[in-house]
Chain A
Amino acid sequence: MATPAIPLSTRLSARGLDGVTLLVLPAAIVLIALFVYPFGYGLWLSFRPKDGTLLGNYGKFFADPFLYDTIYTTLALAVPVTLMNLFLAVPVAFRVRLMRHQRLLTTILVLPITLGTVLVAEGMLNYFGPQGWFVRALTSTGLFNVSQIKLVHNYWGVFLSLLITGFPFTFLLTLSYVTGIDPGLEQAAATLGARAAERFRHIFLPLLVPGLAITFCLSFVQAYSVFPSAVLLGAPAGPTRVISIAAYQAAFEEYDYSMASAIAMIMGAVQLVVVVAVLAARNLFYRGPAAGAKG
């Protein structure tokens, strides 16, 4: 006797396809309309330069130091800022994980994210400007004069702005990785004779590296696409002429959308190279759960 056939719908749902799967559709449509299509269009557009050749835009970019130097300028901002943020976030996270009022502190730290870069930049222009409180306070000590302290409209203005707006994000990610490590591991290391510095080096650091790598990538990508603060707080014609400014100028000053798309693609490629390199290095470390195994 033939066994009765299992209905198609049952077989499909066993593979995870049922009515609920349809709920994915709105998100998928939005994603395609707002991300996949524009990206594909931009990529296609970047190979249709004004001179009619296929790689004209890319050739032009890498022939002109005024353009290709922006890659380096942006890296010179984004990499140190990201490292600095990580460097500051780790010790703070180590302290905060022991605190009882974590919520309050994290709320305060999240505020700069909600304010947005432009508001922070405006505030910094006043605060760090030649007539701002910060500079006045420093000069009133008599150790400096105004001309020695220049914290806006140069590299350091953008650096500080990225640090301030990027820190909360870096910190919150770092905190989640730090608190994910079983405190029992540190206690175990202590009973085995490891001092605080050794516990950090042999236990925490190796377990944190994979998380810090992810944090680095996300913070780096954020810093690499800096635009408002580079214009408002930096010297957009010189030391802080970042790659997004080059793209902006191509698009809205020269009205060369094809060139602007090419610059955007190059920008994406640079980010991708850095992220892939960091993630590849991450594979050299232990990446399993950071708790004391099962139990």
Chain B
Amino acid sequence: MTLLSSFKSLRLEGVSRDFGVVNALRDLTLEIKRGEFVALLGPSGCGKSTALNCIAGLLPTTRGQIMLDDRRIDTLPTEDRGFGMVFQNYALFPHMTVRNNIGFGLKMRGIPKNEAAPRVEEAIRTVRLDTQAHKLPGQLSGGQQQRVAIARAIAIDPPLVLMDEPLSNLDAKLRLEMRQEIRRIHQSLGCITIYVTHDQDEALSLADRIVVLRDGAIRQVGAPEDLYARPAHLDVAEFMGFRNRINGRVQARDGNRVQLTVAGTTLDGVVQEALTGDTAIAAVRPDDMVPVAPDAHGIDTVVEAIEYRGRDFFGQARSKTGDELFFRSEQRLAPGAAVRLGAEPHRVLVYPGA
């Protein structure tokens, strides 16, 4: 019943989904190659789960088509697609043992017991649950349940594994462990993994390619490095951790380089998205914003709060014009102290102003 054991790619062609008058997903077009790990990233309500459910067949699409190589699959019912899915709440069958949960897909495919058993055992070993196989899901910890959910999804040898925020219910330490586990499992299977998350760290560390969604539409597609260093739009930048937004006016331009007038001083940066008018917004990561010498070029601010992060300090300050700025500091600065903040020009990304 598995569609194709040796397929090449999954293509989404103009996939849309409306809920009444709301366009939850607009014209999603994307090609994913075999072996790729793709993360759908975006804030809640951006349509990433809708996209995943459409691919899984749990939600019918309103327009567009989904192709696995040359076969159209969006018209097939969920049970005929043969994709593995890991749910946010795991959705383990509470009345079945771990082994039966994992073997359920093979059983539904009518695979004889003697053939299914070694495959189930292999899936159990892959997620390292050998000693828990006879237990019911309710007797397992969150991380173990998570691994059962993954094993259940991969036991059917799917061309596509869909994961819907699988780590959001785990504590921070376990999340890091499971992240590596998921990456390892993906590499050992060689299938396509589509991973939905709102956590950019997760997407950056796991994915080969990240698709950033907003209001149901694609904002940017790219490798993690690209997205991290060069977000194409201001909202993507904010989502990727550029917490400082500084309003300014364009003073001088030289190709990509631009100088902005900001809070009584100037700030050099790099244009990321074509500037449309006089005003512009500079986006800077807190880690790139640092105190500079009093005679150097920078924005004068007053420290409002400072917290210790272990290797350095994380500060919050306010400029004379009222802009809130986050910065990194080597020294503990007292709240109320005046500090001049600056950033390397190539770390300052400039977007058109509102």
Contact = CB atoms under 8 A, between A and B. Distances in A.
B58 A187 contact: yes
A210 B85 CA distance: 28
Contacts of B46: none
Given A194-B108, A292-B87, A286 B95 contact: yes
Interface in B42-92: 56-58, 77-85, 87-92
A189 B92 CA distance: 9
Contacts of A203: 93
Name the interface size band of chain B: 35 or more
B335 interface: no
B263 interface: no
A226 to B, nearest CB: 35
Contacts of A295: 88-90, 142, 145, 169
Q: Which of A188, A190, A202, A285 has the most CB of B within 10 A?
A: A188
Contact of B137 (A189, A190, A293): A293
Contacts of A184: 87, 89, 91
A184 B156 CA distance: 19
Contact of B109 (A187, A188, A193): A193
Q: Which of B57, B58, B94 has the most CB of A within 10 A?
A: B94
B129 interface: no
Nearest to A190: B78
A67 B92 CA distance: 53
B136 interface: yes
B78 A294 contact: no
A286 B95 CA distance: 5
B87 to A, nearest CB: 5
Contacts of A292: 87, 89-92, 94
Contacts of A188: 85, 87, 91-93, 152
Nearest to A206: B95
B323 to A, nearest CB: 41
A60 interface: no
Contacts of A122: none
Question: B-side binding surface: helix, strand, loop or mixed?
Answer: loop
A54 interface: no
Contacts of A182: 89, 91
A266 to B, nearest CB: 38
Question: A-side binding surface: helix, strand, loop or mixed?
Answer: loop
Contacts of B82: 193
B104 interface: yes
B105 interface: yes
A192 B93 CA distance: 12
A191 B138 contact: no
A184 B93 CA distance: 10
A285 B95 CA distance: 8
B93 to A, nearest CB: 6
A192 B91 CA distance: 12
Nearest to B170: A295
B35 to A, nearest CB: 21
A177 to B, nearest CB: 14
A291 interface: yes
Interface string A275-295: 000000000011011111111
B354 interface: no
Contacts of A289: 94, 138
B1 to A, nearest CB: 6
Given A202-B104, A288-B138, A293-B138, A191 B94 contact: no
A292 B138 CA distance: 9
A194 B169 CA distance: 27
A109 interface: no
Nearest to A187: B58
A72 B94 CA distance: 39
A82 B174 CA distance: 49
Contacts of B89: 182, 184, 291-293, 295
A189 B90 CA distance: 12
Q: Which of B1, B81, B87 has the most CB of A within 10 A?
A: B87
A192 B156 contact: yes
Given A188-B85, A189-B104, A288-B136, A194 B79 contact: yes
A175 B186 CA distance: 41
A49 to B, nearest CB: 50
Nearest to A184: B91
A192 B94 contact: no
A18 interface: no
Given A286-B94, A288-B138, A192 B87 contact: no
Given A190-B58, A293-B145, 20 more contacts: A184-B87, A184-B89, A185-B94, A188-B93, A188-B152, A191-B83, A191-B153, A191-B162, A192-B156, A193-B1, A193-B79, A193-B80, A194-B108, A207-B94, A286-B95, A292-B89, A292-B92, A293-B138, A294-B142, A295-B89
25 contacts: A182-B89, A184-B87, A185-B91, A187-B78, A187-B85, A187-B91, A189-B104, A191-B57, A191-B58, A191-B85, A192-B108, A193-B80, A193-B105, A193-B108, A207-B95, A286-B94, A286-B136, A292-B90, A293-B89, A293-B137, A294-B145, A294-B169, A295-B88, A295-B142, A295-B169
